């Protein structure tokens, strides 16, 4: 009898019987025993054929009591919701212009003083000299040119407090070369200067700012971009090299990195049945790699077994093998805003740079066709593995682990194969041949 009672339902979430939260909803995810019915706060909830269920309860400020019960089991959960006080916006603190030097490569220069979202203008190199003239929320305001500012995290720069005047950087040389599948532009100055990148419909605009010289000293390089393209920027001793590459037209010439999300101690999302995302990601990734190899591509996996791989290492692997395409495989979870758990369902594909939007669209279409998932959308997101411009990068959330209907799908025998087939079909459609 005890065993039966223990199996009437098992909750994956919430983890604690009593908790203090800042969220507007409490999220219940779990598995019900055979033909069990579950009631949460007097509302009977949907249970998928495999027992998976998920439900969200709106919380009010203060103490909330949620009762979950089945025929043999009743449990009470308590949530104390903190009252949210509107944050007072911090004002910009203005000061006289100071010099600041970037401490390390790949430092984001942002359009807003916020460490999140789609606000990266470029990634600056070590020893780039900047002019800063204000601060806000842990960021310096960077003066680029007249009416052009940007923001950089204070921790990423060293402010030069010395009184000594530095000579403004001067232009030395400029050169451009065209190759079969690439165009290269070089610009040399006497010092490392800040730059920005703007992707337009038919061209990429690289701008190098020389703010110490005058208010309007901007060197602009317009580079044509092919239909499918990647690009990269390097800077060494004042020499900028901008390279725009065409993605190979032929599938057999493509190097594709397949990235199984999470791994090792990083389990990823936990599904209704208590299953771990990292394992399903790996299954799909292995199927995908196999399939892409059979189709003739050069394929590299970021992990082939269950182990920890850092985000930096995943990017490094892709850059070192000159990947043309990078596909990160994941399953979604509801996150912090479980407004309606049943609406968060299906396949979504994320990209960061405009050069990856079309691949994301192709893959959303083909995965939903192949795996039978619902279209959940193509969206932008600032995930580290898809930010580099050196490759066309997408992150595929094949299904929601916290959606009971999706849980039936992704735990089925053919899901990994079908999802992999869908991703491969999408890449093929994007590349062409
Ligand atoms: Zn994930």
The CATH number that applies at residue 67 is: 2.60.40.10
Same domain, yes or no, for 395 and 267? yes
CA of 365 from ligand 1 middle (Å) equals 20
pLDDT at 166: 74
Number of domains comprising the chain? 3
The pLDDT tens digits for 260-298 are 999 999 999 999 999 999 999 999 999 999 999 999 999
Of 211, 244, 277, the one marking the end of a domain is: 244
Q: Where are any strands of DSSP class E within 74-128? A: 74-81, 93-102, 107-110, 120-124
Same domain, yes or no, for 285 and 303? yes
Name the residue range of residue 131's domain: 89-161+169-244
Task: Label the pairing between strands 255-260 and 39-40.
Answer: unpaired
CA of 39 from ligand 1 middle (Å) equals 30
CA of 267 from ligand 1 middle (Å) equals 8
CA of 270 from ligand 1 middle (Å) equals 10
Same domain, yes or no, for 216 and 257? no
Q: Where are any strands of DSSP class E within 226-346? A: 229-236, 239-246, 255-260, 298-301, 325-332
CA of 331 from ligand 1 middle (Å) equals 5
User: Could you give the CA distance from residue 239 to residue 85 in angstroms, rounded to a whole number?
Assistant: 49
Burial level of 268, CB count in 10 A (0-12/13-18/19+)?
buried
CA of 281 from ligand 1 middle (Å) equals 8
CA of 261 from ligand 1 middle (Å) equals 6
Of 197, 221, 244, the one marking the end of a domain is: 244
Of 194, 228, 244, the one marking the end of a domain is: 244
CA of 268 from ligand 1 middle (Å) equals 5
The pLDDT tens digits for 103-122 are 999 999 999 999 999 999 99
CA of 298 from ligand 1 middle (Å) equals 25
pLDDT at 4: 46
CA of 124 from ligand 1 middle (Å) equals 28
CA of 396 from ligand 1 middle (Å) equals 9
pLDDT at 417 over 80: yes
Same domain, yes or no, for 234 and 379? no
Same domain, yes or no, for 126 and 269? no
pLDDT at 64 over 50: yes
CA of 9 from ligand 1 middle (Å) equals 26
CA of 368 from ligand 1 middle (Å) equals 18
Cis (ω within 30 of 0) for the bond into 14?
yes
CA of 330 from ligand 1 middle (Å) equals 4
Out of 21-25, 193-197, 385-389, which region has the weakest mean confidence (pLDDT)?
21-25
Same domain, yes or no, for 372 and 393? yes
The per-residue DSSP string of 151-217 comes to: EEEGGGEEEE---PPPPPP-EEEEEEEE-SSEEEEEEEESS---EEEEE-SSEEEEEEE-TTT-TT-
Structure tokens at 100: 């600041």
CA of 109 from ligand 1 middle (Å) equals 26
Same domain, yes or no, for 57 and 102? no
For the segment 150-175, the average pLDDT, to the nearest whole number, is: 89
Structure-token match 């916020």, residue found: 114
| Helix or strand (DSSP H, E) at 65 | strand 62-69
CA of 284 from ligand 1 middle (Å) equals 13
- Give the rounded distance of the alpha carbon of 14 from its chain centre: 26
Out of 75-89, 178-192, 304-318, 325-339, which region has the weakest mean confidence (pLDDT)?
325-339
Same domain, yes or no, for 400 and 336? yes
- In total, the chain counts a number of residues equal to 433
CA of 178 from ligand 1 middle (Å) equals 40
Answer yes or no: are the C-beta atoms of 347 and 330 closer than 8 Å: no
Same domain, yes or no, for 375 and 409? yes
Answer yes or no: are the C-beta atoms of 91 and 98 closer than 8 Å: no
SS3 249: coil
User: Could you give the CA distance from residue 368 to residue 326 in angstroms, rounded to a whole number?
Assistant: 19
The CATH number that applies at residue 290 is: 3.40.630.40
The CATH number that applies at residue 143 is: 2.30.30.40
CA of 326 from ligand 1 middle (Å) equals 15
For the segment 406-421, the average pLDDT, to the nearest whole number, is: 97
Same domain, yes or no, for 280 and 308? yes
Same domain, yes or no, for 177 and 215? yes
User: Could you give the CA distance from residue 408 to residue 401 in angstroms, rounded to a whole number?
Assistant: 10
Same domain, yes or no, for 256 and 404? yes
pLDDT at 334: 79
CA of 277 from ligand 1 middle (Å) equals 7
User: Could you give the CA distance from residue 368 to residue 373 in angstroms, rounded to a whole number?
Assistant: 5
The pLDDT tens digits for 318-354 are 999 999 999 999 999 976 565 677 888 999 999 999 9
CA of 32 from ligand 1 middle (Å) equals 25
CA of 27 from ligand 1 middle (Å) equals 18
């Amino acid at each position: 009898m005890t065993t039966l009672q223990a199996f009437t339902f098992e909750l994956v979430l919430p983890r604690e019987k009593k908790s203090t939260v800042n969220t507007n909803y409490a999220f219940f995810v779990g598995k019900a025993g055979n033909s069990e019915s579950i009631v949460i706060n007097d509302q009977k909830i949907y249970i998928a054929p495999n027992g998976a269920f998920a439900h969200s309860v709106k919380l009010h400020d203060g103490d909330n009591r949620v009762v979950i019960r089945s025929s043999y089991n009743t449990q009470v959960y308590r949530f104390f919701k903190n009252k949210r006080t509107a944050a007072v916006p911090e004002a910009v603190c203005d000061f006289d212009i100071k010099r600041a030097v970037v401490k390390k490569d790949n430092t984001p220069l942002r359009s807003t003083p916020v460490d999140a979202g789609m606000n990266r203008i470029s990634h600056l190199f070590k020893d780039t000299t900047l002019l800063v003239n204000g601060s806000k929320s842990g960021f310096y305001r960077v003066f680029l040119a007249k009416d052009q500012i940007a923001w950089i995290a204070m921790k990423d720069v060293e402010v030069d407090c010395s009184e000594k005047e530095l000579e403004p950087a001067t232009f030395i040389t400029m050169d451009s070369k065209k190759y079969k599948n690439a165009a290269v532009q070089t610009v040399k100055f006497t010092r490392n200067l800040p730059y920005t990148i703007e992707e337009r419909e038919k061209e990429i605009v690289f701008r190098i700012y020389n703010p110490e010289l005058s208010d309007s000293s901007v060197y602009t390089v317009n580079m044509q971009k092919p239909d499918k393209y990647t690009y990269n920027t390097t800077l060494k001793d004042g020499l900028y090299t901008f390279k725009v590459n065409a993605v190979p037209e032929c599938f057999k010439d493509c190097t594709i990195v397949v990235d199984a999300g999470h791994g090792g101690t990083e389990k990823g999302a936990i599904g209704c049945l208590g299953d771990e995302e990292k394992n399903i990601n790996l299954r799909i990734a292995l199927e995908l790699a196999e399939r892409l190899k059979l189709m003739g591509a050069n394929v590299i996996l970021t992990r082939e077994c269950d182990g920890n791989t850092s985000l930096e290492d995943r990017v490094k692997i892709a850059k070192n093998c000159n990947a043309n395409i990078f596909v990160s495989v994941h399953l979604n979870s509801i996150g912090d805003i479980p407004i309606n758990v049943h609406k968060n369902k299906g396949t979504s594909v994320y990209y960061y740079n405009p050069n990856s939007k079309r691949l994301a669209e192709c893959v959303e279409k083909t995965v939903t066709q192949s795996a039978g998932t619902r279209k959940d959308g193509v969206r932008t997101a600032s995930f580290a593995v898809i930010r580099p411009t050196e490759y066309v990068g997408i992150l595929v959330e094949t299904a929601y682990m916290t959606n009971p209907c999706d849980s039936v799908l992704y735990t089925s025998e053919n899901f990994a194969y079908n999802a992999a087939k869908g991703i491969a079909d999408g890449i093929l459609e994007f590349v062409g041949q």
